[in-house]
Structure 1
């Protein structure tokens, strides 16, 4: 999905999409995994960093997301592996070539991604926020899947499915972080803190804001597998007006579901990316001093 953002968002941002390696495959599309640029000029072992995450790491609607800001601050190249809708299993399952690039970096920043990317006993995920029913193999979006569960199940069963999903998410993160052999910085990047009270009225009351379904208890289960943990919680610059980069005038973007956006109310704003880069830089410099 990530490189498709370029098709819809061209008038707002040039994401400088490129191919890192034709051997690195996107498991959802079974095609080459296309990345957000700029493309690094060189990649010497240990002399670059890598950012793993979803659309928040990719930096939708943002000219300079935190991976680019960190490149400028640190003076070293970086690879932005942000992929719209991704969860931990997207990066860890059957992706040995990609893992080689990750482990050849000097350090990795791993975003805390959405819980709706994880499977459960009703729905199977390929590491993205899109499900396949185990009953008949038909596809369904994660929000619609949980809307069905809420509409047709009692509270006890809903809690069971939520617990299964979180458990699978935790196990996927543990597996991903175990596979990463270099220093790892786990990044919470959101408009909310991890602690929240879930309700069962509708999908939004169950999921809460990004990263959906993930609470403090769930984060605590994976923090110990990283070397550092950074929280960046902010609403600065939200909602972000969408501006045509050619005319300087307000514009609209139509997403893949036919919705028209006049402003960005979901993805981190440029101001939020600046805050994330500042928070990460402090930890990275601490890491570098210890080397």
Structure 2
């Protein structure tokens, strides 16, 4: 998982104090899980490169335990497909849910495996979601050279993203707060220019945490 990858690559910079929570590795420090605020999100929630990620800061300020399920590169399906996370979230006092990345949502070009790994449909190749997007932007899948198909692909991905986020939010039965980390405001209006591949790149790398 990305948590272990982060710790291995960043060990000279920071100790994420990873600990085992059933079959998952979570960002530490470990705290009491009986009375907590639960956080579902990506790298920003996990707190890569951060000695004190925002979930820990809030926990200290509010004097309440923290359960940080942040994982880099994941989409909504990562959490939907893990009953342990959903059950743990629903036992918390409050859940903070980050708007997750559009890069990790299935579409006509690839099937997302929940995390940051996908299977490209045209050849069943297992690859990272970032590499799959780069191939799209570089035109290696000839279909995306057609403006009509690329426009459809963007719309399809947005629709799938919204449906997955709604499903995730509906699975959480206790009070929740939505967390948006993006260069785009919630009032952002999509428009299509001449270079749709550039637009597709922007959707995933700049607009990926808000739709």
TM-score, length basis structure 2: 0.86
1:64 maps onto 2:52 in alignment: yes
1:34 corresponds in structure 2 to 25
1:145-170 deviation per Cα after TM superposition (whole angstroms, max 9, x unaligned):
23433422211100111111111111
One of 179, 187, 209 as aligned partner of 1:187:
179
**RMSD of aligned residue pairs (Cα, Å):** 1.9
Structure 2 distance, partners of 1:190, 1:84, is 15
Is there any run of 5+ residues in structure 1 with no aligned partner, and where?
A: 22-31, 219-291
1:15 corresponds in structure 2 to 16
CA 1:4/1:207 → structure 2, altered by over 3 Å: closer, same or farther?
Answer: closer
1:108 corresponds in structure 2 to 95
1:204 corresponds in structure 2 to 201
Per the TM alignment, residue 208 of structure 1 is displaced from its structure 2 partner at its CA by 4.3
Higher normalized helix content (fraction of residues): 2
Is there any run of 5+ residues in structure 2 with no aligned partner, and where?
A: none
CA 1:147/1:52 → structure 2, altered by over 3 Å: closer, same or farther?
Answer: same
Decide whether the 8 Å contact of 2:16 with 2:27 is kept in 1. yes
Name the SS for the 1:189 alignment partner. Answer: coil
1:255 corresponds in structure 2 to none
Per the TM alignment, residue 197 of structure 1 is displaced from its structure 2 partner at its CA by 4.8
Structure 2 distance, partners of 1:143, 1:160, is 20
TM-score, length basis structure 1: 0.64
Count of residues paired in the alignment? 200
Structure 2 distance, partners of 1:147, 1:7, is 25
1:49-103 deviation per Cα after TM superposition (whole angstroms, max 9, x unaligned):
100001110000000110000011000101011001111110011x222221110
